[in-house]
């Protein structure tokens, strides 16, 4: 690392930027917080956290303090991040890693690295650092802090390229800060446009009701067994069931049997009357 302490312009606050330039732990914490918040907010966080921890940033102290106390320091208003609890846990994991691997001295990550590949691997192993963030931090060390490990340009590509405004590694003043912010805005818009549209999950149809099963036909009761008929009962049953002979019914006479009518006497005709009258007249004249 160069004996000269460069001036960083990451938070927009002179006191916070001075802390970032002089304290390697503060710079690492700022990089961890640089996620899902404006970068000025992220890099002002270490200075704010130092004030809440009795004006002292120390890897050993952060690693050993109760998790609830560190979360409370992050969550106190104004909160140090949009997600204070998760970021407090991540910063504490970072501090513990530094204590275990480097004795709590954050600067040893790059002052003792033999080459750019080893430097990148060390940064990549830090809690809260992914592939891209590790490249950006190595580029920041090379461009702004004078770290010259062999091969750092290759491992930090494309953020190590000169004349670009891709990341915090390129911020060396207020105008560069505006250019980097504009680039980030464009990248977010492009990523949002390229993201596949999530289709609504198809509405699952309710399973058709199974046809109601017909109840099995009721079993017929077995016919009652007839009691055995004794001989006396059989005779009695025969006597009662044999129909009695009915008297012959008298038939009513049919049409043929209707009584014959007596013959009616015909009245004498006119000739017969005339003859009788003529005979009476002849008898009277004689």
Q: How confident is the prediction along the chain (286 residues), in pLDDT tens digits per residue?
A: 444 455 899 998 999 999 999 999 999 999 999 999 999 999 999 999 999 999 999 999 999 999 999 999 999 999 999 999 999 999 999 999 999 999 999 999 999 999 999 999 999 999 999 999 999 999 999 999 999 899 999 999 999 999 899 999 999 888 898 899 888 888 888 888 887 766 666 666 655 555 556 655 556 655 555 555 555 554 554 444 444 454 444 554 444 444 455 455 555 566 655 666 666 666 655 4
Distance linking the first and last C-alpha atoms of the chain: 206
Give the phi and the psi of residue 146 in degrees, each rounded to 5: 75, 20
**Residue 10 neighbours by CB under 8 Å, 6+ apart:** 17, 20, 30, 39, 40, 43, 168, 171, 177
Exposed/middle/buried for residue 13 (C-beta within 10 Å: 0-12, 13-18, 19+): middle
pLDDT of res. 14: 93
pLDDT of res. 253: 47
| pTM of the entire predicted model | 0.66
Beta strands in 86-165 (DSSP E): none
CA angle 7, 98, 11 (to 5 degrees): 30
Domain ranges of the chain: 14-193
CA neighbor of 150 nearest in space, from 113, 192, 199 = 113
Count of CB atoms within 10 A of residue 274's CB?
Answer: 10
pLDDT of res. 129: 97
Fold of domain 14-193: Endonuclease III; domain 1 (1.10.340)
User: How far apart are the C-alpha atoms of 235 and 91, rounded to whole Å?
Assistant: 115
pLDDT of res. 94: 98
User: How far apart are the C-alpha atoms of 227 and 244, rounded to whole Å?
Assistant: 28
CA neighbor of 110 nearest in space, from 96, 124, 130 = 124
Beta carbons of 93 and 101 less than 8 angstroms apart: no
């Amino acid at each position: 690392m160069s004996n000269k302490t460069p001036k960083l312009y990451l938070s927009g606050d002179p006191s916070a930027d001075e802390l970032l330039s002089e304290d390697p732990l503060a710079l690492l914490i700022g990089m961890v917080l640089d996620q899902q918040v404006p970068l000025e907010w992220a890099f002002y966080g270490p200075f704010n956290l130092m004030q809440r921890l009795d004006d002292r940033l120390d890897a050993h102290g952060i690693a050993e303090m109760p998790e609830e106390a560190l979360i409370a320091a992050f969550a106190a208003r104004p909160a140090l991040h949009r997600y204070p609890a998760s970021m407090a846990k991540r910063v504490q994991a970072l501090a513990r890693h530094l204590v275990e691997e480097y004795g709590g001295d954050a600067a040893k990550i790059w002052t003792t690295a033999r080459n750019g590949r080893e430097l990148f691997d060390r940064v990549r192993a830090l809690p809260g650092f992914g592939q891209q963030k590790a490249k950006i931090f190595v580029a920041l060390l090379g461009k702004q802090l004078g770290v010259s490990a062999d091969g750092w340009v290759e491992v930090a590509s494309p953020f190590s390229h000169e004349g670009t405004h891709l990341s915090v590694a390129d911020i060396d003043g207020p105008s560069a800060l505006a250019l980097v912010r504009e680039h980030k805005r464009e990248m977010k818009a492009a990523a949002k446009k390229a993201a596949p549209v999530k289709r609504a999950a198809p509405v699952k149809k309710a399973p058709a009701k199974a046809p109601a099963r017909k109840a099995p036909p009721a079993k017929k009761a077995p016919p009652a067994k007839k009691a055995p008929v004794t001989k006396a009962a059989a005779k009695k049953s025969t006597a009662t069931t044999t129909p009695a002979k009915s008297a012959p019914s008298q038939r009513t006479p049919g049409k043929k049997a209707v009584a014959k009518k007596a013959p009616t006497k015909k009245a004498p005709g006119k000739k017969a009357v005339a003859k009788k009258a003529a005979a009476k007249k002849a008898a009277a004249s004689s």
